[in-house]
Amino acid sequence: MDKTFHIVTFGCQMNVGDSDWLARALVSRGWRQVPEEDAWLFVVNTCSVRDKPEQKVYSELGRLAAFGRGKPGLTAAVGGCVAQQIGRGFFERFPFVRLVFGSDGIAGAPDALDQLAEDARARIALLDFLGTYPEREDVLTLSTKTPEPAFDVDAGEPEAVPDGHSAQAFVNIMQGCDNFCAYCIVPYTRGRQKSRSAEAVLAECRIRVEQGAREITLLGQNVNSYGLDAGGTGVGFAELLRRVAALPGLLRLRFTTSHPKDIDPAVIRAFGELENLCPALHLPLQAGSDEVLRRMGRKYDRARYLGIVEALRQARPDIALTTDLIVGFPGETEDDFAQTLEMMERVRFESSFSFRYSDRPGVASLRMSPKVPDEIGQERLLRLQSLQNVITKESLKALEGCEADVLLEAPSRRQDEGAQFWRGRDPGGRVVNVRMSGPRLPGAGGDAEASGLALCGRMVRARIVEAKNHSLLGEEVAPPW
Ligand code: SF4
């Protein structure tokens, strides 16, 4: 049997990072990552934070079942939060699902998948929560092409997710969460917070830089409380940032996600002190009303949040702030919602992920009332998103005429005027489509693979010539390096 696999990823950057690690682990064991139509094994990495996650997974598995009909030995593995919740239930409903694994179980998934390939009758469940961070095997294989996530959760910004090219690496620093925000299912599906040792984080970062990573994103559900659990080794998040930032050859450092209640002044200062720490922070606000924040259990208020924003802008005036917002939380009044709009205006987030509240099983807000009617929640969401669109456009417009270093990720979809356009990101994490001034490379605009070998992972100095609705258009002003 040919060991081939294809991964479908839903959810946050944590899931994208997990999928990337699993893909590299399998490749290092002799598996091949292939397009869906050629795969023997399908891995579906799931998320349960937003609406109807089970239905999404069932529909994906149903699609695979239809797709795999007539394909002998169709095999799937389901990982992530929905796997943790439904567990062995997947075996009954979808006989071709032969492995389920939760966020702690993923460390054992490569062994389990090898076992499935050897034994056609094997079925394996890796669902136990562990007391300490389950260290995963070192994977020295270069990063693989990881699928874009299908949607986002309160754990970062999907637009900031790299393609999995080796120039951009994700490194997990912790797992789980202890916060139990009233609406959130993560502590139940990913377990309690477990920090990874600073030595292991640094060792992985060092390897990734040696392999060619120029940008590293440190990942955790709440990185600001890194090291404060039993797994901590006396190194806090600010110190970890300093140690990673000091790695020779690392051009860019990012992190996500950051809970406002735990942000340390030393982390804020780091934005002004560490040259390669990108001026970008995703800082979930969730709601603008103190009463709603209290009911959500977020443990900060408007004043504290605004104080953090002010300190961040003092440390790094060009910092790009993005956020997550929930509208229609139980009990949210029109006045509460107006305060969310007002916070959006005051902070001027460059972008935000906003969602209508939905009940998740087992969370505290399930029992809170009154629920906000759907049509009101929907109408508020549209108003919030309209305001965000205006602010986003104005923020991007203000960058016209400026210059920025852009880390190139892939050929841009835009390929016109006989020029070669490449998509990348500036230090603030904004998407920039850069018109390259060199000769058009073979394959650019058509064969992404061929042109991808040429410029992927290179940095280019670009002048911003036009702001689009959600991205920037730039022109190369100095050759890539
Ligand atoms: S901090 Fe709150 S919203 Fe974020 S993962 Fe933890 S419980 Fe969920």
CA of 186 to the centre of ligand 1 (A): 6
| Residue range(s) of every CATH 3.40.50.12160 domain in the chain | 4-126
Domain at 158-397: CATH code: 3.80.30.20
Q: Tell me, what's the pLDDT at 351?
A: 96
Distance from residue 181's CA to the centre of ligand 1 (Å): 6
Is the Cβ atom of 471 under 6 angstroms away from ligand 1?
no
Whole-angstrom Cα distance, residue 455 to residue 457? 6
| Ligand 1 neighbourhood includes 193 CB (under 6 angstroms) | no
pTM for this model (two decimals)? 0.86
Is residue 357 scored above 60 in pLDDT?
A: yes
Residue 478 confidence (pLDDT) above 50: yes
Q: Which atom of ligand 1 is nearest to the CA of 184?
A: 8
Domain 4-126 is in which class? alpha beta
Least confident of 101-115, 264-278, 312-326: 101-115
Q: What is the pLDDT of residue 140?
A: 55
Q: Torsion over CA of 452, 453, 457 and 462, rounded to 10 degrees?
A: -60
Whether residue 157 is predicted with pLDDT greater than 60 in this model: the reply is: no
Residues whose CB is less than 8 angstroms from the CB of residue 31 and which lie 6 or more positions away in sequence, other chains included: 3, 4, 5, 41, 113
pLDDT value of residue 42? 92
Q: How far is the CA of 316 from the centre of ligand 1 (A)?
A: 26
Range 154-158 average pLDDT: 34
Q: Is the pLDDT of residue 149 over 70?
A: no
pLDDT at 310 over 90: yes
- Which residue of 183, 222, 285 sits with most ligand 1 atoms within 8 Å of its CB, as the best mutation to test the pocket? 222
- For 181-217, write each residue's pLDDT tens digit: 999 988 988 889 999 999 999 999 999 999 899 999 9
- Comparing 137-151, 195-209, 307-321, 452-466, which segment has the lowest mean pLDDT? 137-151
SS3 content of the chain, % helix, strand, coil (to 5): 35, 20, 40
Q: Is the pLDDT of residue 159 over 90?
A: no
**How far is the C-alpha of 7 from the C-alpha of 33, rounded, in Å?**
8
Residue 443 clears pLDDT 80, i.e. is over it: no
Delimit the CATH 3.80.30.20 region(s) of the chain: 158-397
Where do the CATH 2.40.50 domains begin and end in the chain?
403-478
pLDDT in tens, 398-432: 999 999 999 998 888 776 667 788 999 999 999 99
**Pick from 358, 363, 361, 349: nearest CA to 381:** 358
Contacts of 55 (CB under 8 A, 6+ apart): none
Alpha-carbon span 283 to 426, nearest angstrom: 19
Which position has the higher pLDDT, 152 or 186? 186
Mean pLDDT along residues 37-41: 88
Q: Can you tell me the mean pLDDT for 313-328?
A: 97
Which pLDDT tens digit goes with each residue over 83-96?
998 899 999 989 89
- Pairwise CA distance, residues 200 & 401, whole Å: 42
Q: Please give the share of the chain, as a percent, with pLDDT higher than 90.
A: 65
Residues 6 or more apart whose Cβ sits within 8 Å of residue 70 = none
Q: How far does residue 153's CA lie from ligand 1's centre (Å)? A: 10
Atom of ligand 1 nearest to the CA of 257: 4
CA of 149 to the centre of ligand 1 (A): 19
Ligand 1 contact via 81 beta carbon (within 6 Å): no
Q: What is the mean pLDDT of the chain?
A: 88
Confidence at 144, pLDDT banded by 50, 70, 90:
very low
Peptide bond preceding 257 in cis form (omega within 30 of 0): yes
Q: Is the distance from the beta carbon of residue 221 to the nearest atom of ligand 1 less than 6 Å?
A: yes
DSSP for residue 475: E
CATH topology for the 403-478 domain: OB fold (Dihydrolipoamide Acetyltransferase, E2P) (2.40.50)
Gap from CA of 27 to ligand 1 centroid (Å)? 32
